Amino acid sequence: MTADAHIPLPTRVHAFGDDVLGDHDAVALAALVRDGELSPGELAAAAAARAGQVEELAAVAYPSYAQPLLPAERTGALYGVPSFVKDNTDVAGMPTNQGTAAFRARPAGAHSGYTRQFLSTGLTVLGKSAMPEFGFNASSETPHLAPTRNPWHTGYSVGGSSGGAAALVAAGVVPIAHGNDGGGSIRIPAACAGLVGLKPTRGRHVVSGLARTLPVDIVSEGVLTRTVRDTAVYTAAAEQYWRNPALPPIGRVDGPPTRRMRIAVVLDNLAGPLAAGPTREAVENVARVLEAGGHSVEPVPLPFDATIERAFLHYWGLLAAAITTTGRFLDRRFDARRVDDLTVGLRALFLRRALHAPLTLYRLRAAAATYEQALGPYDAVLLPTLGHTTPELGYLSPTVPFDELIDRLRAYVCFTPINNITGTPAVTVPAGLTDAGLPVGVQFAATRGNERTLLELAYLVEAERPFPRLDR
């Protein structure tokens, strides 16, 4: 089935069934492979068949089902589990198109550094997942392709920029998929699709690709999963490949915290108090779970004002200007005239204030100290992932007039960028459903290097408020 506008789409779509994948998470599938009950090839074939059942989600940017990238060795905690890599990360033999129509990429000649770390966990790669152009948008919509749809309701956005990954995991095609997060791009689609999405500390993983050249590295690599243990096991496995000696080790996290924690709760964004509704209720409900578990919960304000929002938006524009200026380094056939209107608008926004770039970089770099001073005394911070629930497709389309789209994005993505700016970790977990049946996510954030605490708190929420699933 295609996403043809003349063919009505079902409201809810998934591929869960009684094949070898069942409703298992990645850890369970890896155990079946280790025990000899299943092979990586069988799992890859089943995932490819499931992908074919949900093509209307438009979640796959490049399929490699006939030649999946199978693990070279029978090693890794997730050996044989099928997955996808986001379309902005090089996998040898597959094109990296960055979600844009400005060029058509040839197959990459080699894996990126992070891809090698990803593969070290034993995952099988079936192809590339869809994303918006250069990862700039918080919805996976482009003017040249069908939008990536939310499997919980195909008329709604699944978030961005790791939207294809989120759709594939939520719909049951694979239990785990790669994503990266430069302003919320793992956590936003996790919230929209009812998934777990961890943005690690800056420097936690191998840094590769464009991230190496950023004046302020805001990008973190990770995965989207349906269970906390999949994220925890992946994180520990990736750490076995390479660990930054400047950060405390995470190790294997197996359950909720055993110590009493002091948790800050944020319910105000830079524009003021969060309005009553599903998003605020989700945070308040999780706060009650924490209190019931014996943890101290204290309301606190965000330690920033609108200056940091303007700095991030200006930096966002700087990245758009840099890509459109140097795009031929991505591909010699790059045609800047074919980028979408959001990229064009961001570039123009930066150029109007280009002389302020040094001040922008100073403000972004100084934010880490402000964050540490205000939130360092707490074990973690509980806050919304998004300013409101996921919108219908088209609301955040790059075809919306730029000024209107930016206003919408600022209201929507008002909580996630802080942790990209400061380099601190944060994890989104599911926290219920709206009356329309769409997932709502909340996030826990911490100071640098404290991913272990975040995973423990995610386990607590999962145990006390089991995550909703499409197949149940």
Tell which residue, 42, 63, 43, has the closest CA to residue 54. 63
Structure tokens at 38: 């299943």
Distance CA 441, CA 230 (A): 18
User: Which residues make Cβ contacts (< 8 Å) with residue 270, sequence separation at least 6?
Assistant: 302, 304, 305, 306, 308, 309, 414
Query: 149: part of which helix (H) or strand (E)?
Result: strand 149-150
Question: What is the residue whose two structure tokens read 């999962």?
Answer: 462
Among 64, 185, 220, 397, the active-site one is: 185
**What is residue 155's DSSP assignment?**
E
- Cα–Cα nearest to 442, from 222, 280, 292: 280
Distance CA 36, CA 100 (A): 41
Phi/psi class of residue 272: alpha, beta or left (left: φ > 0; alpha: ψ in -120 to 50)?
left
83 is catalytic: no
What type of residue is 340? D
Task: Say which of 86, 129, 157, 220 is annotated catalytic.
Answer: 86
Give dist(CA 217, CA 197) in Å, integer.
19
Active site residue 157: no
Q: Kindly name the residue from 139, 140, 161, 220 that is annotated as catalytic.
A: 161
Angstrom distances, CA of residue 336 to CA of 9, 325, 364, 397, 471:
34, 8, 28, 19, 43
Would you call 161 a catalytic residue per the annotation?
Answer: yes
Residue 72 CA to residue 84 CA, distance in Å, equals 17
| Burial of 280: CB neighbours in 10 Å, binned 0-12, 13-18, 19+ | middle
Rounded to the nearest angstrom, the gap between the alpha carbon of residue 188 and the centroid of all alpha carbons in its chain is 6
Q: What is the DSSP string of 156-213?
A: EE--SSSHHHHHHHHTTS-SEEEEEESSSTTHHHHHHHT-EEEEPPTTSS---GGGGG
Q: Is 398 helix (H, G, I), strand (E, B) or coil?
A: coil
Give one DSSP letter per residue of 317-344, joined into a string.
Answer: HHHHHHHHHHGGGT-TT--GGGS-HHHH
Distances, alpha carbon 452 to alpha carbons 200, 225, 228, 234, 356, in Å: 10, 17, 12, 13, 38
Catalytic residues: 86, 161, 185
